[in-house]
Structure 1
């Protein structure tokens, strides 16, 4: 495993108490596993959450990331056992913060998120979820109930030895700002968003 376990702490949050373990991957990215319960009863309710500074920290209405993070933490804290893996280096589907802002500018000019990334000469989605599988293996989790609408996350976990027993939708209400973004995810990236 190229992902190394770091420090472990107790983290009380507004959602409940978590145990947090830091990880460092082979590319130098730092990730967090927020664990609720003891993870012995499997499959474990699990969320792989890609870093999104604009959504997670600033509450951007252009995406649903902040709302998904909040909903996932609440669901995991309400479950007997659960884990949220916060994946750094995933900003803007892996293209980075400044390129993400450039893509947002192109979206303001009429391109969708897929077209904007391609216009910048960047991949549509450069994220890699193997590190999440490494973290789950390190924690002894071999079967999950995956909180996700993204088929790439599900497929990557399966390809890397994690059994996905169930996919649990993580649907948030769209708004006028993020509806085009969500429709692009559904129509061009095969995300499961039946509520749109």
Structure 2
């Protein structure tokens, strides 16, 4: 870990029984932390066989609408469900980061939805509200990984910015593992913006009409 990033420490670990999307169950190791630079309550879930080298790691930004309510405006819920399954099979960590709306917060994200309904894409809606297109900073993820003893990993996800920020902070990304494409009629514009504007690794098929 680079000297520019303050050290964090494991606060507590608790067993968390989970029901997975394929109908199976598992027990995660849910970890909280002291000393995270933004003061938020981020958590890590250890899943699958311990000691996998490199561990499969997903940095998942909180999405109340998608993760909890099953919103089809985004692909966050399906990505979370897929990640839990894949990490359970291979062994690794899911870092659940409290960065709603690409870091702008829940209410601002809902305001951005209003602008999206008027024709703006997901990035332009954020900037129209006076925010950055993507305000997420993954320093806390670096702190969490260091506290967990993870120095190298396979990164599960399609967002190149996550890998770039980890590598810049001294974390070795051995390989990048894409998630699936969870395309629906409701999130097609959103995913197209992520692929075109955010350079996410998404091979989008054409939806039949």
After TM superposition, the score normalised by the length of structure 2 is 0.89
Aligned-partner SS, 2:79? helix
Please tell me whether the aligned partners of residues 171 and 195 of structure 1 are also in contact (alpha carbons under 8 angstroms): no
How far, CA to CA, are the matches of 2:9 and 2:169 in structure 1? 17
- Residue 14 of structure 1 aligns with which residue? 19
How far, CA to CA, are the matches of 2:104 and 2:163 in structure 1? 21
Q: Deviation at 1:173? A: 2.6
- Residue 51 of structure 2 aligns with which residue? 40
Q: Deviation at 1:26? A: 2.5
The runs of 5 or more residues in structure 2 that have no matched partner are: 1-5, 21-25
Please tell me whether the aligned partners of residues 17 and 77 of structure 1 are also in contact (alpha carbons under 8 angstroms): no
- Residue 172 of structure 2 aligns with which residue? 163
How far, CA to CA, are the matches of 1:111 and 1:41 in structure 2? 43
How far, CA to CA, are the matches of 1:121 and 1:192 in structure 2? 27
Aligned-partner SS, 1:63? coil
How far, CA to CA, are the matches of 1:126 and 1:117 in structure 2? 10
Which stretches of structure 1, 4 residues or longer, exceed 4 Å deviation after superposition? none
Please tell me whether the aligned partners of residues 142 and 162 of structure 1 are also in contact (alpha carbons under 8 angstroms): yes
Number of positions where the alignment pairs a residue of Structure 1 with one of Structure 2: 194
Q: Deviation at 1:5? A: 2.5
Please tell me whether the aligned partners of residues 67 and 172 of structure 1 are also in contact (alpha carbons under 8 angstroms): no
Q: Deviation at 1:17? A: 1.2
Return 45-54 or 164-173, whichever deviates more: 164-173
More helix by proportion, 1 or 2?
1
Aligned-partner SS, 2:102? helix
How far, CA to CA, are the matches of 1:136 and 1:38 in structure 2? 17
- Supply the RMSD in Å over aligned alpha carbons: 1.3
Q: Deviation at 1:114? A: 1.1
Counting only pairs closer than 5 Å after superposition, residues 78-89 of structure 1 correspond to structure 2 as 78-79=89-90, 81-88=91-98
Counting only pairs closer than 5 Å after superposition, residues 1-196 of structure 1 correspond to structure 2 as 1-15=6-20, 16-24=26-34, 25-37=36-48, 39-79=50-90, 81-88=91-98, 90-196=99-205
Please tell me whether the aligned partners of residues 43 and 145 of structure 1 are also in contact (alpha carbons under 8 angstroms): yes
The runs of 5 or more residues in structure 1 that have no matched partner are: none
How far, CA to CA, are the matches of 2:204 and 2:124 in structure 1? 24
Query: For each residue in 1:139-158, what CA deviation from the matched residue of structure 2 results, as whole angstroms up to 9, or x when unmatched?
Result: 11111111110001000111
Aligned-partner SS, 1:93? coil
